[in-house]
Each structure stands twice: as C-alpha cells, then as structure tokens.
Copies of this chain bind each other. A is one copy, B any other.
Amino acid sequence: MSKVRVANFTVSLDGYGSGANQRLDAPFGDRAGELHEWMELAMAAREKGLTDPAVEQLDRFKDGVGATIMGRNMFGPERGEWADESWRGWWGENPPYHHDTFVLTHHARPSLKMEGGTTFHFTSDPIEVVLERAREVADGKDVVIAGGASTVRQYLRAGLIDEVDMFIAPVFTGAGERPFDDIGDAMAEFTVESMVGVPKATLVKLRRA
C-alpha cells in the first residue's frame, strides 16, 4: 500500500531539523556539514561496496517513491515573491528526484520541468490537497515528505505521515526549526521500530502504530 514517508531527515541533539541561517552558500544553514556527516560517510561506504543501516537508507530514500513534497526553503534560498524564475533548485539541471516534486509556497510560479524526470510544481494549496495531488501522480508508489522541519511538522501535526526515518547527529546547532514542536501528541501514534548507531549518527525508524 502506498505510504507517506519522511525519509532520512536529520535532527541535531537539541532537536533542530536544520542549521540556523540558511542561505545561498549554506543550503542547510550553519553546521550543515556536521549534521549530515553520516550521509557523506554512508555514500563513501557505498562506493566501496560496503553496507550498514545508513547505507541501506540511502536507497530507501528513493525506492518505490513516486512523488516528493518539500517546503519552499528546501527548494531555494529566496523568500517572498520570486525575483524572477532563474532559480531552478539547489541540484543543477538533473535533480535527484526523477518524479513530480511539489514545492509548498505562497508565491505562484509555472511548473518547472527538469532533466531526468523531475518536474517542480509550485503550489499554495493546503497541505492535504497537495498530498492528494502527490498521491495521484505517485500512482500507487510512496510519497516522500522531504523537508524542511516546518513542512515535516505540518504533515505530522495533521496526522498524515505513516513512516519517519530520522538520523540524530552528534551536534548541537542551538537554533533552527524543530520538526517535533507544536504537534500536540501526534507522535504518540508512532512506535519506534528500531534505534541503531551508525557512523556519526543514530538512525531511528518510526512507524504509525
């Protein structure tokens, strides 16, 4: 059955989903390198043909996924009205999604067809409506809520997420956005399937009970 998943979301020891001061030369904000060191190590391990739970998660981020939803800050560093339409995402001309990817924003912009199958759709629809659209185009595959923290929080609060795979990184960022704030007891509906140490992080898998 098609699921709604948060895949490989990274939080700091003080619970922040990304570093503070996100900007053009620091897409994940301050200390992003430390937050995502587990990912660098997992990618290096995979290149050497090694595997561990973190390496397996790299594939799980894509396996069976038919659509992605992200917040506007995950798409780019601009705020407010689009200055123009020259910004085409952080990922170059061939983004790693390869399917329809919905960007939550209050500011309209035509859909943006990239190489490799990714098309960015910009939408100010309510998150529930965006999810319905994503489910339709995913056509039986999973929908990934990619981030950032604010987008994850909105979907958690609405009770719309089935699975969360998160990494806790051994760093304090001291500022940023927290995915688990102001969501009432939304997390009470999840069980912790596993919690295991990997290089430079702890991987926690949460499943809707």
Contacts and interface: CB of A to CB of B under 8 A. Distances in A.
A71 interface: no
A41 interface: no
B13 A192 contact: yes
A80 interface: no
A102 interface: no
A188 interface: yes
A190 interface: yes
Interface stretch (A89-97, A122-130, A169-177): A169-177
A187 B173 CA distance: 8
Contacts of A187: 13-14, 172, 174
A137 interface: no
Interface stretch (A21-29, A61-69, A103-111, A194-202): A194-202
Given A14-B15, A15-B15, A202-B202, A184 B195 contact: no
A168 B168 contact: yes
B202 A195 contact: yes
Given A13-B204, A15-B180, A204-B13, A170 B190 contact: no
A122 B24 CA distance: 53
Contacts of A13: 168, 180, 187, 192, 204
Contacts of A168: 13, 168, 202
27 contacts: A13-B180, A13-B187, A13-B204, A14-B180, A14-B187, A15-B15, A15-B178, A15-B180, A168-B168, A168-B202, A170-B192, A170-B204, A172-B180, A172-B187, A172-B188, A172-B190, A174-B184, A174-B185, A174-B188, A195-B197, A195-B200, A195-B201, A195-B202, A196-B197, A197-B197, A197-B202, A202-B202
